Amino acid sequence: MIEWTSSALFGILLCIFTYEIGLWINKKAKTPLANPLIISVILVIAILQIFGIPLDNFQKGGDFINMFLAPATAALALSVYSQWELLKKNWIPVVGGALVGSAVSLGSIYGMSKLFGLDDVITASLLPKSVTTPIAMELSTEAGGIAPLTVAAVMISGIGGAMFMPFLIKLFRLDNPVAQGVASGTASHAIGTSKALQLGETQGAMSGISIGVAGILTVVLHLIFFS
């Protein structure tokens, strides 16, 4: 009967239903810790383990879903475009902030990885972790990193940034909504943006733009310094 799970439909269905459960728990719990993706991944792994289903069987459906990662990244263009007027007015601070933030991210990760004596594979997996998952994954695999490890680091950055955001805003005295938004999007991508939206419309919009801007800048910096 285990063959039954080798249909691509099995993996797709498992993802859909565990994700729906994740969304439901997230709605009830109202904390960034109850992240739908994390809940879904834990449920999928638990189900595969309990029933002894091979990962390869699950990944037949997984490959189908993976195919949507690139289109989902490309679709970020729409959120940058829909805030074009706001971006045009503030493009120097936004691009400047995202650039300095991305550089500090890459630099601090590289420095700390050396400090901890991590090998090249793990360092490559961590380096792009501040940007949105699909871009981070692609940068990681291109540099010889392990994609799932990158996703884990991306999640920690997103959830950590969202949880500590009110504290970080006070710590760095960011009284300006544009500064709050750019910091959120550059450091904590989409998870940060959902928190930034709660702070205000400008913060949310700026955070959304910064996901795309910091993504591109990180790719360029990564290319210059790490390949």
The reply on whether position 24 binds another protein by CB under 8 A is no
Q: Give CA–CA dist 12/32, Å, rounded.
A: 25
Mark residues 132-171: x for contact with another protein by CB under 8 A, - for none. -xxx-xxx--x---xxxx-xxx-xxx--xx--xx--xx-x
Query: Least CB distance from residue 213 to another protein, whole Å?
Result: 10
Rounded Cα–Cα distance for residues 110 and 143 (Å)? 13
- Select the span of 2-10, 43-51, 196-204 touching another protein (CB under 8 A): 43-51
* Residues ≥6 apart with Cβ < 8 Å to 145: 121, 122, 123, 124, 125, 126, 127, 139
The span of 1-9, 101-109, 195-203 binding another protein (CB under 8 A) equals: 101-109
Q: How far is CA 144 from the centre of its chain?
A: 19
Shortest CB 38 distance to another protein, Å: 8
Number of residues that bind another protein (CB under 8 A): 108
Please tell me whether residue 205 binds another protein under the rule CB under 8 A.
Answer: no
Judged by CB under 8 A, the residue of 190, 197, 199, 202 near another protein is: 190
Q: Comparing C-alpha atoms, which of 178, 186, 191, 174 is closest to residue 213?
A: 186
Please, where are the H alpha helices in the chain?
Answer: 8-29, 36-50, 55-66, 69-74, 76-82, 84-89, 91-115, 120-126, 133-142, 147-171, 177-199, 201-226
126 binds another protein (CB under 8 A): yes
31 binds another protein (CB under 8 A): no
Is residue 202 within the footprint of another protein (CB under 8 A)?
A: no
